[in-house]
Amino acid sequence: MGLRALLEACWWRRQHAWLGTMLAPLSALYSLIAGGRALAYRAGFLHRQRLAVPVVVVGNLVAGGAGKTPTTVALINGLRASGWTPGVVSRGYGGSVRAPRSVSRDHDPRNCGDEPLLIRRRTDAPVWVGADRVAAARGLCAAHPEVDVIVADDGLQHLRLARDVEVIVIDERGLGNGRLLPAGPLRERPPPVPPAGVIVVYNAARPSTSWPGQPVIRRLGRPVPLAAWWRGEPGPGTWPGSAAAEPLLAAAGIAQPERFFRMLEAEGVRITRLPLPDHAAWDVVPWGPGALPVLVTEKDAVKLPATHPDAGRIHVVPLDFQLPAEVLATVCARLPARAGVGR
């Protein structure tokens, strides 16, 4: 586990406000290390590695899920509609792989991570994972010479990879308490205004910081039975058990499960909440026997095989993001055209 992952775990597991004060010295240490590393890149002591194709980085400023993965999916679809051929690199958080390798549609998420597998299944874009995202990107480009733009999922703090555009996703939490990990949620200390080349999108109804940016359009798709979801088939268009007297069970192993639950309730679905830790393994299902349907996110579904004993009662609820047209146009305008390809 890297330093940042360890400090994020400290932040999420803290139980009392006074613990934030006790963790302040660790925040100072983290600030010194992260700030020194960024300064070393700016001064040229450490060198960014530039690829043969342009790079768009998607990331966030705070610990936990701000909506990077659905933003990455929306960006890939938008770039493809604009004539680009995108590929994706990711650290593969939660997976065991360290050396660069490709992700297939039926990959084991314990190896590659749940989010890269979800991106691969949702977009069919080539996805490579690895601790060294520069090496992963070079491996992807060698294997897929048709790729003319790389999208780096959760790559904001991976400074070694040079980038042409940064898309920062901010949710309703904004900057939290303004403190760095682990006394606060911040992965880095943001300047008063976004740096040049940064595009801000808000996974919230309205901006939650002073940085200018536009909210994404987010909506839930209709639930799909687990086996049908793995086959890539659409759902029936209705909520399962809608006539049942009891509420449906909603389970979510994501960073912000309450966001999923609120969106379900906004659709008029009566639910019983079952929040789980982010990147939950799902080795054992967290519910008992019964006949009522269970609603899960796609990030959870990649860890539940179609042959699961409870597959008949599990329904996958997709989450779709739509980027504002102005955001997508700005991203494309900042990408240098590939040699010999008109844009």
Reported confidence tier of residue 339, pLDDT bands at 50, 70, 90: very low
Asked if residue 23 has pLDDT above 90, the reply is no
Q: Is the pLDDT of residue 133 over 90?
A: yes
Span of 29-43, 195-209, 237-251, 319-333 with lowest mean pLDDT: 237-251
Q: pLDDT tens digits, residue range 85-119?
A: 999 999 988 788 889 999 999 999 999 999 999 99
314, β-bridge pairs:
294
CA distance 170 to 202: 5
pLDDT at 183: 82
The confidence band for 209, taking pLDDT boundaries of 50, 70 and 90, is very high
Mean pLDDT, all residues of the chain: 89
**pLDDT, tens digit, for every residue of 289-316?**
877 899 999 999 999 999 999 999 999 9
Residues 6+ apart with CB under 8 A from 265: 271
User: What angle do helix axes 68-81 and 114-123 make, rounded to 10 degrees?
Assistant: 30
Task: Specify the DSSP element, H or E, that contains 298.
Answer: helix 298-301
Buried b (16+ CB within 10 A) or exposed e, 294-320: bbbbbbbbbbbeeebeebebbbbbbbe
pTM for the full predicted model? 0.89
> What is the reported pLDDT for 30?
76
CA torsion 290-292-298-299 (nearest 10°) is -40
Backbone angles phi, psi at 127, to 5 degrees: -125, 130
Q: Which one has a higher pLDDT value, 17 or 203?
A: 203
pLDDT band at 15 (very low <50, low <70, confident <90, very high): very low
Largest CA distance in the chain: 65
Indicate if the pLDDT at residue 341 is higher than 80.
no
Backbone angles phi, psi at 158, to 5 degrees: -90, 80
Long-range contacts of 107-112 (CB under 8 A, 24+ apart): 109/302, 109/303, 110/281, 110/303
In angstroms, how far is CA 106 from the centroid of its own chain? 19
**Fold classification of 3-216+323-334 (topology level):** Rossmann fold (3.40.50)
CB-based contact 282:300 (threshold 8 Å): yes
